[in-house]
Structure 1
Amino acid sequence: MSDAAQPSAAEVRAAAEAVKAALDRHLDAVERRSGEDDPTVYAAFNELAAAAEEYDELLYDAYDEVTPFEIPGDGTMPAYTGPDEPSALSVLIRRDYTVLEPQRLLSQAQRVADLDPDVEIGGGENGAEGEARSSVHAALGVLFGEFEPDEIASRHKEFGLEEGDSTLWVAAADEATEPGEWLNAPFDQADPELVVCRFDVSAVFDDELGGEDEDTQERLTLDSER
């Protein structure tokens, strides 16, 4: 950033004062809250997060310094608005992987195909030698068609994959859906306000938890914590 574009010391000071005022408003809202889901507390929380983020950005732009605060991003879960006693639930899972060793992936897929001549490759039954290793696309279809997602997760290194972020949402519902009702668009009804709890795994949590040696850190969020 050029000197002309840098915020002034007065702008940084004003942003700091805005954070202090937002802290006072948040504490006042917490002290006066009417219940766990008080909208005043929720609004004060968002105002404090926005003020802190603005200050953090200006501080960095002007002085190349940062704050020790974690600023909630767009992924912050909203307050739970689902039923108090759900009679049904949906479990939504996302796991990201990087294809770290394509040749290992291709070899493992071909081994599966060699052991099972009826394995589906490319959407059809074809046991021809070499088909499973014809492309990463075909190999992924073979492996994810043969193994359960949990087994892929526990054995990802064997398949030449590297784990990225993952999340599991447990969402409440008033009643179970009809068979086949959402299969054409399975994730369109993912409503964060119905999430009872979520379980996240990400390397980004390493710094927050002291940089422990594990490859990833895990975080469980309950609706009562939001």
Structure 2
Amino acid sequence: MSTLYFRLTLLILGLLVGCDRPRKEQARPEPDTIRSVSIDPSPVIPTPNPAPESLPPAVHQDSDGSVHLSPLTAKLVGEGLELNDWDQIAGFKNRAQRVVWQMQLSAPGTYQVEVDAICTGPTQEARMRVSIGETRFSEADILLSDNDQALVTTSLGEITLDAAKGYRIEVEMVGLPLLGKFAVSEIRLVPKNDSLSPLSKFKRDDGSTEAN
């Protein structure tokens, strides 16, 4: 009996000790969370730099100071512009079309702007503007030709260029629409008398000089 009482006493003491211990709270399940997923950024494709504008070769002054702008040394900008069978510029239809030259000026001064063209339209809507550099231009109505083969020279006015440097020359038709045949054969810059600065001179191997 003593052994039985001893075991019962140990059992009761074990239960009492177990009841006195604090219960450990079970970890509560965490609510579902949205995990952010790292997304690799789209590869950035570098935009190539726009190609520089191609320009025609520079036209230089003649020994008398004049500048002859031929269709063969021009850049035609705009759909429809073309050289005809006589190497004349034809196909002017809208203000977006341009004829571009590059000019290297050696002698600053005042120049008369002239154009040789065929113009058979029944109206004087064939008005041409010649822009030189960023701020200077001259314009006038093109004179009518006697027939569709006859060139006529029209003076577009005077323009003063005060620096010896390269100039961009643009030609556009500001009087549209054009009726009849219209073609440009040449544009010239003719120096006014006594208005030019001396042409730059280059020394030859033999020591003599010549104008540019």
TM bucket normalised to smaller: under 0.3
Return the index of the structure with the highest Cα Rg: 2
Larger helix share, 1 or 2? 1
- Relative to the length of structure 1, the TM-score reads 0.18
Larger strand share, 1 or 2? 2
- Relative to the length of structure 2, the TM-score reads 0.19
